[in-house]
Structure 1
Amino acid sequence: MVAHDGSSVFTSTTITETTGEAEHEQIQEIEVIFGTFGRIGGNALDKCKNLQKLTMVNCNLEVISNLEPVGASLVHLCLSNQNITRMSGLSSLRQLRHLYLQQNRISRIEGLESCRKLKTLWLYDNCLTRVENLGFCTDLRELWLQNNKIQTLKATNGGISELVNLQRLNLANNRLRDVDEFEHLRKLV
């Protein structure tokens, strides 16, 4: 299927071609490396009720969308090396534990209110300037933010200081000037 902008759309047919499975109900993992999908089609994942892991790397995705059908089962989502600019479309992913959105063009951390079970969040190589909106992710253990444009870690609502279970934090290659939030992070190794 081709979108209005000429890019392909990730569909249920793509899933059949990728997995070799015509019946999608029992599929637990989908992995696509290299593709030209502008987005995930509206009903592409409708029959993937048991999908636990979705990995799409270097597929030219521009938006996170249409993940609602796998909201009750998906625990691992990797959409790395895409053209994603916003962290939208995550609100249905209540079971999500691992989120990998590195190497995109994301400028703001947002949309994680429903992802309260999140343990791993990789947002390195994006366009972030602030660390915010993480207050809902109190179970987060690993946060990779290297190679962004972050300038400050001043204590803010939803900032790093609320991540009391954080064990691994990478902030290398940022533009950090102010670092206030580390005193609450007693579990960092």
Structure 2
Amino acid sequence: MPNVGNLQNLKQLSITNCAIKKVNLTEEVLPNLESLDLRQNQITTLWGLHSLIKLQTLSLSHNQVGKSMTICQKDTVMPKLLFPNLITLFLDHNDIRSLAGFNFENMPMLKYLFLQHNELQDINGVQSCVGLETLVVDHNKIQVITEEDFHSDNNIRSFFSEYNKIKFLNFVRRLTKIEKLFVSNNKVSDKDQIKNLGTLKRLKEITILGNPLCKRTNHYKLALQALVTLRRIDGHSVIPKDYLDD
């Protein structure tokens, strides 16, 4: 039996590039663990990790989590709170096609969620994350995002959804606290979609370049007409009077 006494005070642990398929790390072994890096393995199940009650950061980038994140073993009752103190979760590069079954509603402290480079067609499943501040879904296959995909009292400050297939931006009206919005390289062709920015009084930065509408109109001017408080567009600082003055 290995001596685990030296692990009692461990706060950070990194086990990467080890071809790990299953993980069973419990609070009894790592009671004070706050950050766990399991990048670039072959993990499909997370049984045991949910008991790490002090865990704040979990990186599962480049694994095989797939369609749903398995927490409990068969015939085991799902705990009310899966990761009670988890703040940051990396699930990018996992071939995830759906968020159903991830039980984000049981992660009450989650603020930063990274889901880029997956196979998502929608983001249904994150609306229960009331405290979420940063959501990253770049490089997926998302075609439609609706207002209902976000909690009515959401705290989203930054939303990254570049390189998808999104045509409509009406969903942004639900993001009343957003400061940064990245929607470049999608399928937005109707210039009237930019008018949805008008309700986002805190928005300071946006990316639009790479959408069809950019080929036919001055999207800088459209964006500033919708929201004159914008300060960065497509990575460039802008002065409203330079675009709005005749």
- TM surpasses 0.5: yes
Asked whether 1:181 is paired with 2:193, we answer no
Q: 1:163 aligns with which of 155, 168, 175?
A: 175
**Distance in 1, Cα, partners of 2:117 & 2:28:** 32
Structure 2 partner of 1:113: 127
Q: State the shift of 1:111 in Å.
A: 1.1
Structure 1 partner of 2:111: 97
**Distance in 1, Cα, partners of 2:65 & 2:107:** 18
- Pick the structure with more strand per residue: 1
Q: Is contact 1:115-1:136 (8 Å) kept?
A: no
Residue pairs, 1:10-89, within 5 angstroms: 10-12=22-24, 15=25, 23-37=29-43, 39-41=44-46, 43-62=47-66, 63-66=68-71, 70-88=82-100, 89=102
**Distance in 2, Cα, partners of 1:64 & 1:160:** 28
- TM-score scaled by structure 1? 0.81
Q: Secondary structure at the match of 1:91?
A: helix
**Distance in 2, Cα, partners of 1:184 & 1:64:** 36
Q: Is contact 1:51-1:70 (8 Å) kept?
A: no
Identity over aligned pairs, percent: 20
Q: Secondary structure at the match of 1:40?
A: coil
- TM-score scaled by structure 2? 0.64
Structure 1 partner of 2:164: 148
Q: Is contact 1:52-1:76 (8 Å) kept?
A: yes
Gaps of 5+ in 2: 1-18, 73-78, 205-246
Q: Is contact 2:51-2:83 (8 Å) kept?
A: no
Q: Kindly tell me: are residues 71 and 46 of structure 1, through their superposed partners in 2, closer, same or farther at Cα, counting changes over 3 Å?
A: closer
The CA RMSD measured in Å over matched residues stands at 2.3
The CA deviation string for residues 51-98 of structure 1, in whole angstroms up to 9 with x for no partner, is 111111111220234285543111111111111111131221121100
Q: Is contact 1:93-1:114 (8 Å) kept?
A: no
- Pick the structure with more helix per residue: 2
**Distance in 2, Cα, partners of 1:11 & 1:95:** 23
Q: Kindly tell me: are residues 49 and 166 of structure 1, through their superposed partners in 2, closer, same or farther at Cα, counting changes over 3 Å?
A: same
Larger of the two Rg values belongs to structure: 2
**Distance in 1, Cα, partners of 2:50 & 2:132:** 23
After TM superposition, what 4+ stretches of structure 1 lie above 4 angstroms from structure 2? none
Q: State the shift of 1:137 in Å.
A: 5.7
Q: Is contact 1:80-1:102 (8 Å) kept?
A: yes
**Distance in 2, Cα, partners of 1:135 & 1:26:** 32
Q: Kindly tell me: are residues 65 and 183 of structure 1, through their superposed partners in 2, closer, same or farther at Cα, counting changes over 3 Å?
A: farther
**Distance in 2, Cα, partners of 1:82 & 1:137:** 29
Equivalent pairs, count? 171
Q: State the shift of 1:50 in Å.
A: 0.8
Gaps of 5+ in 1: 1-6
**Distance in 2, Cα, partners of 1:136 & 1:86:** 22
**Distance in 2, Cα, partners of 1:130 & 1:185:** 20
**Distance in 2, Cα, partners of 1:102 & 1:45:** 22
